[in-house]
Amino acid sequence: MTHQVKWLGHASFEIITGEGLKILIDPYRENNPSAPTEEPDPADLVLVTHDHFDHLENVAGRTAAKGVIVGQPEVLAKIQENNPGNLEEENFVNGGGGMNIGGTVEVRGVKITMVQAFHSSDAGSPAGYVVQLSDGKTIYHAGDTGIFSGMELIGELYDLDLALLPIGSVFTMDPAQAALAVELLQPEKVIPMHFGTFPILVPDAAEFVELAEKHEPDAEVIVLEPGESYNL
């Protein structure tokens, strides 16, 4: 089964599974200078890693009528508060109870595990996700994070087909840290993210590609332009 993974710029990704299920991670479009012009369809699953503005934009508008938003309880409460009357209880995982780091939920045949990330947030705490699709293909979205030794445990626990890793520095891992993270995680393939959006960030993925090849030559690095897709 083939799944389409599309980079929507910054840390935002759309995954369309082989069955047609649409998964959106960290929506950020209206104020995203790197967003592609094509508008993504409302998603069946919306995963939010933390509540910073560049990961949590217009969640209600990005969620299909029967879609489910996944996040920590405090983040879901913030989304509810900011979208009065626009979302129903069924639009939130566990009826709004959310989930937390270490937990796994299954929604529409997709297993979603929340894992730690090292960053900051207003509500709750930052997180990443391990997403296991119905055919077993496994994708890790690191969220905004610095490198941490627990990435090695994530790599041991899950056979990662694809890792989505921030490389832009300033607010997340820089290329050197992200390259070492590839060695810890041992994914089959890697797509860099969270770079080039703003002038303050690392402008391109060239240094990361070079360093990742040295740290983990068996991992294939796939550099996308915003709006481009990779078939997994």
Query: Could you tell me the fold of the domain covering 4-225?
Result: Metallo-beta-lactamase; Chain A (3.60.15)
The two three-digit tokens of residue 19, written as one number: 């069955």
Closest CA to 93 of 58, 112, 69: 69
Write the pLDDT tens digit of every residue in 116-161: 999 999 999 999 999 999 999 999 999 999 999 999 999 999 999 9
Supply the pLDDT for residue 83. Answer: 87
The two three-digit tokens of residue 54, written as one number: 């560049």
Q: Which long-range contacts (CB under 8 A, 24 or more apart) does 82-91 make?
A: 83/59, 86/60, 87/60, 87/63, 90/66, 91/63, 91/66, 91/67
Q: Which single residue is written with the structure tokens 């002038």?
A: 199
The pTM of this model reads 0.98
DSSP output for 182-206:
HHHH--SEEEEES-SSSTTS---SH
Write the pLDDT tens digit of every residue in 20-48: 999 999 999 988 999 998 888 999 999 99
CA 100 to chain centre: 15
Supply the pLDDT for residue 110. Answer: 98
